[in-house]
Amino acid sequence: MPPAESLAASMLDAARAVAAVIAGSTLDEALSRGAAHAVNTAAVRDMAYQCLRAHTAIQTRLGVLVPRALREADRQALLLVALCRMEARPDSAHTTVSQAVDAARTLGGDRFASMMNAVLRTAQRRTQALDDAVAASPAAQWQHPQWWLERLQQDHPRHWQDIARAGNAHPPMALRINRRRTDLARAQARLVDAGLSAQVRGDCGLLLDKPVPVQRLPGFAEGELSVQDIGAQHAAGLLDAGNGQRVLDASAAPGGKACHLLEVADIDLLALDHNPVRARRIDENFSRLGLPGRVAIGDAAQPDDWWDGRPFDRILADVPCSASGVLRRHPDAKWLRRPGDIAHFVAQQRAILDALWRLLAAGGKLLYATCSVFRAENQDQVAAFLTRHPDCEQLSPCGAPDLQLLPTAEHDGFYYALLQKRPRQG
């Protein structure tokens, strides 16, 4: 076994995580299972994320070098991780090869170690052939499944390339101030004093120049700051919740949008999530920020199991979706998603919307939100809902019928549509 603190050990742990994703696990689940024995957790996470972001290109390169995939999933994944690291860090190729060989010896003895050495050495000699293979495949070139690229081209013919590039990049890190405990000027000054640079975005956002661990954020433990994407920070303003109103945040975990709503208005807020483990994170965030929200466990599509019968003035329907707007944060989606999954999400979203609509008071507003860039989950879903519900009117709080944010260097991709239930006549 290689030393626990070595690069070889980290590559093994990253390969196990990648193998688990290929087998159907989410990356978060896979990394959580390995956290107990991983020493360099940051290195493991970085290598796993890098490999999954570049998965199609790396698979294509490996296919040239090893035409027939290995039957042992962990060995195949270690080849992917090692090749990916060598491509990303050409300046330390010698170290990568040496440590990958050590890791391979742990998995498959001297025979697999020799194979690893031969594959990586051949990759160094055949860079042009590997580059040509990637260039010949749009899926490999753009590092997305072909069906995903086709949907992006159909939905965003002018911007699909930018969306694909963003999906392969490292995500930005943004903060939201807790206006009940600080203000933008004070929070920004504290960051500067801590050697961190951030730019103001909106009335409560700070975009960090470089991501850092939350432990380095002054005021985070005291509840002055939360980590939240700039795009996600639009939700609270669009919902326009006022003091004294009764508000529901459906599918609320981990609670970022719910906390934001409570920070800007004195409301009676119920945060709902179907997963008890994830719901505990909402409670933890309420406690850290000193906010009075309530948490319930339940399915947004089955309100009879948790609703007390009193209508809500505002509802945030942040529905499950493909996560196509936050792909760089969830690169395992490239492995896990299938073309038919979009129809499944659309049906799930429809059921949630229809169920929540009857909980909304007359004159009340519902904000439909996704972290998707696919029209089927966004504009088409809203159009179908308006057809089914004649008592619904779509508002234009941003001067347009809806807000589709595409992922950029500053924020992720989100979709918002504000719907109002018409007051009863007579």
Q: Which residues are the active-site residues?
A: 371
> 317 in helix, strand or coil?
strand
The answer to whether 384 and 346 have CB atoms below 8 angstroms apart is no
Q: Which residues contact 85 (CB under 8 A, 6 or more apart)?
A: 11, 47, 50, 96, 100
DSSP string, 131-190: HHHHHT-HHHHHTS-HHHHHHHHHH-TTTHHHHHHHHTSPPP-EEEE-TTT--HHHHHHH
Rounded distance between C-alpha atoms, residue 393 and residue 355, angstroms: 17
The answer to whether 403 and 234 have CB atoms below 8 angstroms apart is yes
Rounded distance between C-alpha atoms, residue 255 and residue 278, angstroms: 9
Place of tokens 């008071």: 361
> What's the token pair of residue 311?
């209508």
Rounded distance between C-alpha atoms, residue 190 and residue 238, angstroms: 29
How many other C-beta atoms lie within 10 A of the C-beta of residue 40? 17
| Rounded CA Rg of the chain | 24
Rounded distance between C-alpha atoms, residue 378 and residue 376, angstroms: 6
Beta bridge partners of 360: 312
> 243 in helix, strand or coil?
coil
Element (H, E) at 80: helix 73-88
Place of tokens 């989606």: 333
Rounded distance between C-alpha atoms, residue 15 and residue 103, angstroms: 10
In 3D, which of 402, 351, 337 has the Cα closest to residue 151? 337
The answer to whether 10 and 47 have CB atoms below 8 angstroms apart is yes
Rounded distance between C-alpha atoms, residue 17 and residue 378, angstroms: 32
Instruction: Categorise residue 79: left if φ over 0, alpha if ψ from -120 to 50, beta otherwise.
Output: alpha
